[in-house]
Structure 1
Amino acid sequence: MFSNTVEFKETFLKRIEMVCGKSFSESSARDHYQTLGTMISEFVSKDWIATNERHLAAKGKQVYYLSIEYLLGKLLRQNLINLGVEETVQAGLKDLGIDLGELEEFEADAGLGNGGLGRLAACFLDSLASLNLPGHGHGIRYKHGLFEQKIVDGYQVELPEQWLKNGNVWEIRKTDGSIKIPFWGKVESKTENGRLVFNHLNAETVTAVPHDMPVIGYQSKTINTLRLWNAEPSQFPLDVDILKYKRETEMISEFLYPDDTHDEGKILRLKQQYFLVSASIQSILKTYRKQHSSLNQLHEHICIHINDTHPVLAIPELMRILLDDEGFDWEQAWHITKHTISYTNHTTLSEALEKWPIHIFQPLLPRIYMIVEEINERFCHELWEQTPGDWERIKGLAIIADNFVKMAHLAIVGSFSVNGVAKLHTEILKKREMNQFYQLFPEKFNNKTNGIAYRRWLLKANPKLSSLITESIGPAWTHKATELSQLLSYQKDSSFLEQLLKIKSENKQTLANIIFDKTGTAVDHSAIFDVQVKRLHAYKRQLLNVLHIMYLYNRIKSDANYPVVPRVFIFGAKASPGYYYAKKIIKLINSVAEKVNNDPVIGDKMKVIFLENYRVSLAEKIFPAADVSEQISTASKEASGTGNMKFMINGALTVGTLDGANIEIRELVGDSNIFTFGLTAEEVLHYYQHGGYQSDEYYHHDYRIRQAVDQLVNGFFPGAYNEFEPIFDSLLQENDQYFVLKDFASYVDTQHSIGEAFTDRTRWQQMSLNNIAQAGYFSSDRTIQEYADDIWKVKPIK
């Protein structure tokens, strides 16, 4: 149906009648989107079935990727690109008077993720399929996702993210694969035939119904599967408030990251996590039994990978099935489990390492808690045998301590591989955050620097740049990202650099139009587009960016002739609903924007833009238009970052601390093609360990800091009385935990250097080109190949 334009048009017109029950003349643009999506799904169905059959027939190992998030973005054009039929479809639709770009607007961004964790998982699925690797994703089918962000009077307002209100053309509901998940109740044990047998009684059961989505590899016959679980009521239990049970059940797959400020939210989060892993593992084993009669060699045939700690209950759940359902003894079950599970850690923030209060965990998951308790007892006994009497060491390493279950500890003890996601991150884990575990299990720890699905961020998001690259070095780069390095030969080619500048300028104009449509603010596309888009978190230091803007504003106001290179500061970020401080930063950004954008003295020298509801489809417009990529987290705090890679491959220059993958970007492009500043990770960690930092010294000795910080509380922002006191206090009363004031002077100097560098357009384009050419290393194809070779031991099935 996609072999040529004529055949496509004929099929499309027939399918409209079948799918929508209308003639073409009566059909709407939404009908056209639905029809095209249905055609793509039908087109890939044979390869999808064939891929599953190959996986069943193959004797090689397979991997199952468990993640609480998948930030997929829109799939229509990406699927067309991966199938190699985008041009045919676009031309055929045009003949029919239909704009493919307009059809894309009818697809909602899938509400299955929040930030880097979910986007990484989506990139990994893309690469698994593109490399013909047998890799399957498992997640939750959130009805509303995180939330849709609206900015009202400068404040974040959360609305339900109704991405499923018109259905999801890519999914297939598979009711026959439904799984029962038990919660609450009690566990009784008895001896049968010399074995201790456990029965879970009076459980409240929930049904997990799978919805499968095809994951289409780039120019590959491999169509892998993302299986998303929907929570639905089982047969209604006796003596239960039916409406309450139905509501509580449906809430499991309603929202991503429910507010866990109170116990109700904690219970719901823990329910979600067990729901995901129990449904997934039962489903995985059901498939496994089609190939193998026994689970004895499970770990030799499959690997279950847990993306951060959210799915770590996979460890006790697999133990439960092996012990209770399959009759294995503890030693056998434990050997299989810890050789089946691998774990990626995504943080160095101790407060982000999940732990669950026993008073919530034990009653909600009684059998799972018993197994975790046994794992902990045996592990602590081993520690005692190594260092008898060292209670502090045992307490520090224990899985259960101080009335909490520590999920990262369980993940490390119950897996065979623990990886960080950038060189610095892994070294911090080994030397500091998880040093005691590293001393115990040095063989488990390894690094896998993150990567991105670069085809989406170039072929889809930046087609003009993609065309220039292909015209210059050929198409091989679309399969092998390191081929981009051939672009280095064009560094002194003035014609190429002019084309690069022209493409960037056109992308900036496109974003400028979006900015005007969304905010009513006109921006000059010849200005520097300085962009910080990511989750709103204190350690990511959007505040440092804002204080620099306030300083620039003050500088220009005090001297209207102060020379500045015009700049548009662009922000996009969601703050977690319960994250009070982050919401204050959003309000501050918008208050600064109102002040700056309406000041005639400032004019076009500066504009500040906050784009609401940051998401993948918006990111695809932002990255190609950016000149400067803000990666300014407190050194040692950002595990890796992947936005830095997406900016880099689109030619933006990084201004960043030596944190996460910024370090590896610098190693690739060299000091002359990146702007670095601020404390190093070692210096930050030294301050945390030994003290010695006094933020008020910087406040008192740097008038630029004092002026900007005072403006948070001195009435500088009309109508914002006491609004920003928590930010003021965080910097001074709480001693500036993330070293914003310490790094301020270095950041200001570096930003001044960026302005000067931008005025030399030829040199800037050379720097931009160098970043594009060196970005191939950060392909998720490379990352996934490393996982496949070093951890999962999976090979392509063709």
Structure 2
Amino acid sequence: MATSTTASRDLRQYECGPFLFSDRADHDWYDRHLMFDHVVSPERASQRERFEAVARSLRDLLTQRWLLTQQTQEQANAKRVYYLSMEFLIGRSLVNNIVNLGVEQFVRDDLTTDPQQDWAAVIETEPDAGLGNGGLGRLAACFVESLATLQIPAMGYGLRYEYGIFRQEIENGYQVEHPDHWLMQPDPWEVPRPQETVQVPVACSFRLENGVIRAVPGQASHLLGVPYDRPIVGYGGRTINTLRLWGASSPDVFDFGEFSSGDFVGAMLDRLVAETVTRVLYPDDSTSAGQALRFVQEYFLVSCSLADIVARFQRSNDDWNALPDKVAIQLNDTHPAMAVGELMRILLDQGGLGWDEAWDITVRTLAYTNHTLLPEALEKWPARMFELVCPRLLEIIYEINRRFLDGVRELYPGDNGRVETLSLIEESGERNVRMAHLAVVGTHSTNGVAAIHSRLLRDAVLPEFAELFPDRFNNKTNGVTPRRWLLVANRDLSSLITEAIGDGWITDMSRLRELLPLADDAGFRQRFREAKRSAKLRFADWLKATTGQTVDPDTIFDSQIKRIHEYKRQLLNVLHVIVLYNRLRDDPTLQIPPRTFFFAGKAAPAYQLAKLIIKLISNVGRTLDADPVSSGRLNVTFLPNYNVSLAMQLIPASEVSEQISTAGYEASGTGNMKFMMNGALTIGTRDGATIEMAEEAGEENFFLFGLTADEVADSRGWYSPGWHYDHEPETKRALDLIRDNHFSPDEPGIFGPILDTLLARGDYYMHLADLTAYSQAQQQVSALYADPEAWTRKAIINVACSGKFSSDRSIAEYASDIWGAEPCPVGD
């Protein structure tokens, strides 16, 4: 990928994975894309145009392998996995594809010959894809990468959101939301497939009334789902699977008659309505219009994806009964649960099957992953929305429910309470469809994503279903891909690991246990500290260059980066910072290691308390900076617009990982795993996968504190946060400092809702119950950090014991236990 300045270089051959490259050929690709795609001379090309030339050259490079993967899988008629998810938080694709293809040095070498191009600039030019927001989407991205690495035939299905959830800025401490138009410029990775467009029937049409778009019942119409394909490159480049994203469109661009008569907006109405469906990730669901749009998005994803899956199945199969043997469909959380009704509709209405046969095929084909214990996340959709948009699905769901409840009544005669609890339809008030219930009843597998989550799912959230279907419930602890989160994100540490134990760990994370003896090697510990120091310096430089924020790499880097939510307890973290601040105010000579507390994450636009927590974090940080007693010793930094790229910079640099959710509320977590494999020590509750991480590394190498999930549950009904305020002086002083407007002198009373939540409204997420134990655990962190050798030893042990938390292990378990899918190697 060089400019014409390399014309005189000797032709060389580069062997990278299954590919054999000619330097001259690759130069031609880059030069052609740079000049001809944008009709610009190389010396006048913008940085964006140069990035696109690199990306398109790489796509040219992988295209043959991508096609060969598809051909091999079709010819083998192998069982395929289809992963349906409303989110795929893939981040940037360029560096991941370069590394997985094994052509990194080749690209680096060629870029150095272009004086206007450099490696860092190429990477930073690519925007993060706005296709997800949190752990759900990042897990999906890790999973599709592992599926390709393990050479399992698979496709991911999602929506092609034109805008991400939002671009976050912090102004005067407040979160301000701006559009995240990540597709403002063409994405060089996607391949539109208009010839494979599918129709999505909708039982209503739309009209414009006083500037507002309204649905018209009973006037059927349809949307078009246009597929856009992205390559998912497995490590080594042998298998390149596909992520198919659906963009919504309308059959006609505009009504020419209306346009000619002067109704220009009305003429474009169908197109405006259609494109709105995939305009933005997570519309504000605090309004009925936002809820309706979210409903249509889920229906659109399921309808498009199942139509495509069935078409692929029918290319090589003519017997519907073979569907479960050739197709495995995984529902990533409740969002795609309509797939149960939609697959039944296809089998009944298009396939002409009888009910029992169609139901057996549906259940054996579909599987469901639950990602939450929060009741509000177990979706319920009003029946009226089904009636308006997809009434046939509602008819089928009602029939599923009737037959299911008839069976329940036979097993439990006279137990009307159980029937009401198990029903797919919530009858109290407005009639709602319980989507999690539909997902459990209509699939052959329901899995949680950490051992404790799966237990609570069975015992507390869906116990009646677990009693009915004990064989369907299972656990598949989450994992993350080591390629992106260690090999790419942390070059210094990954190089040190490879030097010590070889590179087998990249595809077999269990090999990291070979590092355990090196925890007692003083020389290795020193090099490990040097790798962490390099990551900290690199992050500080990156942060200064990208945001203008400055941080001191000589402080402890303590990070809590995740969606802002009360149960994740960023508020507990900042309360502890205030406790430390009060200690310094009492005794300025107090010896505590200087620490920088990093916070990052977005609050849902309608979640006012979460946004107020961001404001408190920001104000506390400004106050500490301005006070001589704390300045330089306690630093609080809120990093705006958290995304994958930011995480890839901060996680390798972090020394403390905050995993402090209320026990029993975090399903698994995956950020905790990324921190662990990058050598951060975890301070956390016994929640989610943190429990299993501590089991792997030993609790003596973690800082665990606080109530257990059972203790949290047992405290309901009698817990009194006021007791902690009255009997714990440091808790009282921290809250009083907030109440007395110490952090808001210009906005008195602004943090009243936070105090009300903690004291007057019962402190549902147990912040005050855990604050003292949390403070004590933090003292242990400070004490250990004062002994660099002991700290480093524990950090190495954490890395060595992180192998279980590879997404390769997770996917291998899904493949053998749920999907019955096997690798389909792609030859050279």
TM tier relative to shorter chain: over 0.9
User: Which whole-Å CA distance do the structure 1 matches of 2:84 and 2:347 have between them?
Assistant: 19
Please state if 1:117 is matched with 2:136: yes
Please state if 1:37 is matched with 2:55: yes
Matched residue, 1:338:
363
Matched residue, 2:18:
none
Picking from 145, 156, 168, the partner of 2:187 is 168
Picking from 32, 36, 44, the partner of 1:26 is 44
* Count of aligned pairs between the two proteins: 783
Picking from 207, 223, 233, the partner of 2:250 is 233
Query: What does residue range 303-382 of structure 1 map to in structure 2 within 5 Å?
Result: 303-382=328-407
User: Which whole-Å CA distance do the structure 2 matches of 1:119 and 1:487 have between them?
Assistant: 27
- TM-superposed deviation, 1:715: 1.9
Counterpart residue identity of residue 442, structure 2? G
Counterpart residue identity of residue 215, structure 1? I
Note if contact 2:492-2:534 (Cα within 8 Å) is conserved in structure 1.
Answer: no
SS of the residue 2:243 aligns to: strand
Matched residue, 1:271:
296
Picking from 218, 239, 243, the partner of 1:222 is 239
Note if contact 2:621-2:637 (Cα within 8 Å) is conserved in structure 1.
Answer: yes
Counterpart residue identity of residue 562, structure 1? L
SS of the residue 2:199 aligns to: strand
- TM-superposed deviation, 1:523: 2.7
Picking from 597, 602, 619, the partner of 2:647 is 619
Picking from 813, 817, 820, the partner of 1:790 is 817
- TM-superposed deviation, 1:777: 1.0
Counterpart residue identity of residue 526, structure 1? D
User: Which whole-Å CA distance do the structure 2 matches of 1:519 and 1:345 have between them?
Assistant: 37
Please state if 1:648 is matched with 2:673: no
Counterpart residue identity of residue 240, structure 2? I
Please state if 1:132 is matched with 2:160: no
Picking from 285, 305, 319, the partner of 1:260 is 285
Counterpart residue identity of residue 230, structure 1? G
Counterpart residue identity of residue 375, structure 1? I
Please state if 1:711 is matched with 2:737: yes
Note if contact 2:131-2:164 (Cα within 8 Å) is conserved in structure 1.
Answer: yes
Matched residue, 1:197:
none
Please state if 1:94 is matched with 2:112: yes
Q: Deviations over 1:202-230 (max 9, x none)?
A: 31211110000010000032110000000
- TM-superposed deviation, 1:55: 1.4
Counterpart residue identity of residue 614, structure 1? Y
User: Which whole-Å CA distance do the structure 2 matches of 1:114 and 1:10 have between them?
Assistant: 38
User: Which whole-Å CA distance do the structure 2 matches of 1:153 and 1:667 have between them?
Assistant: 43
Picking from 405, 413, 416, the partner of 1:391 is 416
Matched residue, 2:10:
none
Q: Deviations over 1:494-553 (max 9, x none)?
A: 111111111111211222234444665543212111100001111000000000001111
Note if contact 1:343-1:417 (Cα within 8 Å) is conserved in structure 2.
Answer: yes
Picking from 402, 405, 419, the partner of 2:433 is 405
Note if contact 1:518-1:611 (Cα within 8 Å) is conserved in structure 2.
Answer: no
SS of the residue 2:649 aligns to: helix
Counterpart residue identity of residue 518, structure 2? Y
User: Which whole-Å CA distance do the structure 1 matches of 2:287 and 2:221 have between them?
Assistant: 22
User: Which whole-Å CA distance do the structure 1 matches of 2:798 and 2:341 have between them?
Assistant: 45
Deviates more, 1:373-382 or 1:137-146: 373-382
Q: Deviations over 1:610-637 (max 9, x none)?
A: 0000000010000000000000000000
User: Which whole-Å CA distance do the structure 1 matches of 2:55 and 2:692 have between them?
Assistant: 39
Note if contact 2:84-2:330 (Cα within 8 Å) is conserved in structure 1.
Answer: yes
Identity of aligned residues (%): 44
- TM-superposed deviation, 1:102: 0.4
Note if contact 1:4-1:88 (Cα within 8 Å) is conserved in structure 2.
Answer: no
Note if contact 1:530-1:628 (Cα within 8 Å) is conserved in structure 2.
Answer: yes
User: Which whole-Å CA distance do the structure 2 matches of 1:518 and 1:701 have between them?
Assistant: 45
Picking from 736, 749, 758, the partner of 1:731 is 758
SS of the residue 1:405 aligns to: strand
User: Which whole-Å CA distance do the structure 2 matches of 1:617 and 1:794 have between them?
Assistant: 32
SS of the residue 1:785 aligns to: helix
User: Which whole-Å CA distance do the structure 2 matches of 1:179 and 1:13 have between them?
Assistant: 37
Deviates more, 1:487-496 or 1:166-175: 487-496
SS of the residue 1:563 aligns to: coil
User: Which whole-Å CA distance do the structure 2 matches of 1:161 and 1:84 have between them?
Assistant: 31
User: Which whole-Å CA distance do the structure 1 matches of 2:422 and 2:497 have between them?
Assistant: 51
- Quote the RMSD (CA, aligned, Å): 1.7
- TM-superposed deviation, 1:359: 2.6
Note if contact 2:684-2:704 (Cα within 8 Å) is conserved in structure 1.
Answer: yes
| Structure 1 gaps, min length 5 | 187-199
Please state if 1:440 is matched with 2:468: yes
Matched residue, 2:165:
146
SS of the residue 2:801 aligns to: helix
Counterpart residue identity of residue 382, structure 2? P
Please state if 1:509 is matched with 2:537: yes
Matched residue, 1:203:
220
- TM-superposed deviation, 1:565: 0.9
SS of the residue 2:707 aligns to: coil
Picking from 614, 627, 634, the partner of 1:606 is 634
SS of the residue 2:739 aligns to: coil
Counterpart residue identity of residue 206, structure 1? L
User: Which whole-Å CA distance do the structure 2 matches of 1:34 and 1:363 have between them?
Assistant: 43
User: Which whole-Å CA distance do the structure 1 matches of 2:83 and 2:416 have between them?
Assistant: 36
User: Which whole-Å CA distance do the structure 2 matches of 1:431 and 1:123 have between them?
Assistant: 29
TM-score, normalising length from structure 2? Answer: 0.92
Counterpart residue identity of residue 26, structure 1? R
Query: What does residue range 380-779 of structure 1 map to in structure 2 within 5 Å?
Result: 380-402=405-427, 403-517=431-545, 520-688=548-716, 691-716=717-742, 717-779=744-806
SS of the residue 1:663 aligns to: helix
